[in-house]
Amino acid sequence: MQRATVQSGFSLVELIVVVVLLGILAAGAGLLILRPIEAYDDQVRRQQLVDQGEMALRQIARDVRRALPNSVRVTPVGAGFAVEMVNTVDGARYRDEVGGEFITANDTLEFTTSDTDFNLLGLFNTPGVLVPGQRLVIYNTSAAGIYTDAALNNNPGIVTPAGTALTLSTVTPATEDAEHHINMSPAFQFAQQSPGQRVFVIDGPTSYICDPATSRIVRYSNYAFSAAQPTPPAGGTSGVVISRLSGCSMTYSPGTSQRGGILTIEITIADSGESINLLHQVHVVNVP
C-alpha cells in the first residue's frame, strides 16, 4: 500500500504579500536613514555659506581698516554697491623739529617751502617700502580731493605727484635711535601739517563691486586713480570674493573730527534653496 505524499509551500498570493511588506519596511528604513543624511547636508551647506560670507566681509573690513584716512567712497551700482578706498602700504610720523643729533635742515620737513629731504620719527614697519609707483600723503581730509589730485596730478599739497622719485635710507647717529630718511625728487611742498605728524605711503586704489545681477562680489586692485569712482575699474587685477550672492547693501557714515566713520555691509548668499543673511559693521579711523 502506497502512502499519499502531502506537499506544502507558499502560494503566489502569500509571496506577493511578503514582497509588499518587505518593500514597505525597506521604504520606512530608507526614510529613517535619508532624513539624517539630508539634515547633515543642509547643515554643511549652511556652514559653507556662512564661512564664505564671513571670509568676504573680513577681507573687505581688512582693506577698509588699512585704507588712507578719508578715502572711502561708496556708489550705488544697480541693486548693489561699489566701495573704493586708497590702499596704504605703511605710515609713520615725520620729524618737524630738530632734536638730539637731528639738527640739520635735511632732518625736518618744511611746510613753508618745497622740500626734498626729511626724517621720520623712527622707522617704517614694511620692508622694501618706497618702490616706484608709491606716493606720500599728508593730511588728506576729502575722498573727492585725493582721487582727483592723484588722477590729474593736481598739486594742492596733499599727495606727491606721479613720477616723484622717493628714496629711503636709514640714519643712525651715535647717541640716538635710527630714523628713516626720505628724499623726494623733484622737491615738493605739503600744504598743511598733520596734527599727529602722520605721513602715509600709498600705492593705489582698491574696489569691491557687489552686483546681485551677476551673483558676485569682485575685488579690483592695481588700477589707475580716477576722479569719478569707476564701476567697475578698467585694467588692474580682479578676483571673485563671493559667487552665490543674492542681495547686498552698504551704507557709509564718514564721521566727524570727533568720531570715526562706520561702514555697514549686509549681504545675502543663497544655494539650493538655502539662504543666509550677514550684517557687518566696520569702524573707519579717519584721523589724518
Judge if 238 and 183 occupy the same domain: no
Q: Cβ(218)–Cβ(240) under 8 Å?
A: yes
Q: Is residue 6 situated within a structural domain? A: no
Is 27 domain-assigned? no
Which of 202, 226, 250 is the endpoint of a domain? 202
Does residue 114 sit within a domain? yes
Spell 188-216 as b/e; 16+ CB within 10 A means b. Answer: bebeeebeebbbbbbbbbbbbbbbbeeeb
228 found inside a domain: yes
Identify whether residues 169 and 271 lie together within a single domain: no
Task: Tell me, yes or no, whether 59 lies in a domain.
Answer: yes
Number of domains in the chain: 2
2-16, 94-108, 215-229, 235-249, range with the lowest pLDDT: 2-16
Q: Convert the pLDDT of each residue in 262-288 to its tens digit.
A: 999 999 998 888 888 999 999 998 888
Per-residue confidence (pLDDT) for residue 168, from 0 to 100:
95
Q: In what order do the strands lie in the sheet with 165-171?
A: 115-119, 179-188, 165-171
C-alpha cell belonging to residue 203: 600705492
- Average pLDDT on 164-179 reads 88
Residue 251 domain-assigned (yes or no)? yes
User: Are residues 100 and 187 located together in one domain of the fold?
Assistant: yes
Give residue-wise pLDDT tens across range 106-142.
999 999 999 999 999 999 998 889 999 999 999 999 8
Q: Is residue 28 part of a domain?
A: no
Domain boundary among 202, 235, 264: 202
Residues 216 and 198 in one domain: no
Higher pLDDT, residue 251 or 47: 251
92 and 198 inside one domain: yes
Cell triple for residue 6?
502531502
Cis, peptide link before residue 132, omega less than 30° from 0: no
Same domain, 212 and 79: yes
pTM comes to: 0.83
The answer on 154 and 122 residing in a single domain is: yes
Q: Which of 149, 281, 110 is nearest to 227 (CA)?
A: 149
pLDDT (0 to 100) of residue 281: 93
Q: Are residues 79 and 214 in the same domain?
A: yes
Same-domain check for residues 95 and 130: yes
Given pLDDT bands bounded at 50, 70 and 90, which one contains residue 161?
very high
Q: Which residue, of 142, 173, 202, is where some domain finishes?
A: 202
Task: Judge if 77 and 103 occupy the same domain.
Answer: no
Q: How confident is the model at residue 187 (pLDDT cuts 50, 70, 90)?
A: very high
Residues 168 and 208 in one domain: no
> In 3-state terms, what secondary structure has residue 160?
coil
**Residue 79: inside a domain:** yes
**111 and 184 fall within a common domain:** yes
Q: Which of 29-33, 55-59, 257-261 has the lowest mean pLDDT?
A: 29-33
Q: Which residues form the domain of 224?
A: 52-86+204-284
